[in-house]
Amino acid sequence: MTRVATVGEALATLDVGRLDSPVEVGLAGAELNTAVGLARLGVPVSWSSRVADDAFGAQVRDALHREGIDAQHVLSAPAEKTGLIVTSRLDEHTVRSEHYRSGSAASRLSPATVDPARQTRMLDGASLLHLTGITPALGDGPRALVGELVALARTRGIAVSFDVNHRPQLVDADGMRAIVDEVIDAVDTLFCNEVEAELLTGENDPGLALRALAARGPRVVVVKLGRRGAIALVDGLTLGTGVWPVPLPTFPVGAGDSFNAAWIALQLEGVGPAIALPLSAWVAAQVVAHPGDHEGFPARVAFDAVLRELESGTTRAPELGGPADALGDATVDGPTTRDVVDGHPAGGDATVETITETEEVAR
């Protein structure tokens, strides 16, 4: 039976590398990445969306089956297409990412395509619904569906986790604030980065922003601080962690989604935040050490080994403000840049990777 329900988009990824490199095909999508992580940790999870009947849509279905994700509520969209991300490495420090979502199957999610009866079935058996700000930013239909699912979850006593995941090419700052305003009263766990925290609160001090967000209702707020680590406020208790060293080269995608998966799994298992925070950061570090959005997500056996080491004290959590960044994006209004500072040998220089993104989507 499903323990965590997720709803969102799937995107095909084409990594063209350099012009003389072979093209690599993969899959992405914030909620999908988190679902993959949860499944690998043994958490029963469902992922719901609309998927095209094209070649990329077939890959999505194959991946869901391979990862053991419940896909019974995935709807077919024969006349539509799968969204696409094309990435290319411009030099050793810079990756260009172009998104093509206009007319995609997932961009046409709505209460009309996912009726109330299906919404109810999607949440059957779930103890938590995980969503991100990307889905409601895709358009009015997806936004209305997210609102209905959050309201339904609240009515049924199902916890809600929400990652702000602001994409300025999809929605501006005012629009993002409005999206969060619509759901935050029903959110139990809120994830964001420090730029998003300031966008939502006006506070440029992450600690003050953390408390301001918690005052709006969420029991748990996690703010990811990039190269400095992450902080969390859980039932009034504030905690922090640094980041784990990441070997070169890094692939700075999927880190935030994988962090969320680990945190959610540990919450469901009753692991305290003092362990959950650094362990979630460790998972994110493993993901950015491998190509792809979720390919580097660790197996449960490796995850449990680090969990035991943290619990026993044989491994200490990194201190807040460490030298590596494995916790996801820093977004700004306008073109998005994500700076990832890699782990490096003692005495070496950190390397910064910048990702530039463009979006194309039907509004």
Task: Give the active site residue among 257, 293, 325, 329.
Answer: 257
Among residues 333, 357, 299, 335, which one has the least CA distance to residue 42? 299
Beta strand ranges found along 24-141 (DSSP E): 24-28, 45-48, 50-52, 75-77, 83-91, 94-100, 128-132
Tokens of 250: 């890094």
Beta strand ranges found along the chain (DSSP E): 4-7, 11-17, 24-28, 45-48, 50-52, 75-77, 83-91, 94-100, 128-132, 159-163, 189-193, 220-224, 230-234, 237-241, 337-341, 352-360
Tokens of 101: 């979502």
- The SS3 of residue 167 is coil
Which amino acid, residue 346? A
Question: Helices 300-312 and 273-288 meet at what angle, rounded to 10?
Answer: 140
Q: Are 252 and 228 in contact (CB under 8 A)?
A: no
- The SS3 of residue 139 is coil
Among residues 292, 284, 240, which one has the least CA distance to residue 263? 284
Query: Beta-carbon neighbour count of residue 98 at 10 Å?
Result: 15
Q: How far apart are CA 133 and CA 162, in angstroms?
A: 7
The answer to whether residue 257 is catalytic is yes
Provide the β-strand partners of residue 48: 7
Residues with active-site annotation: 257
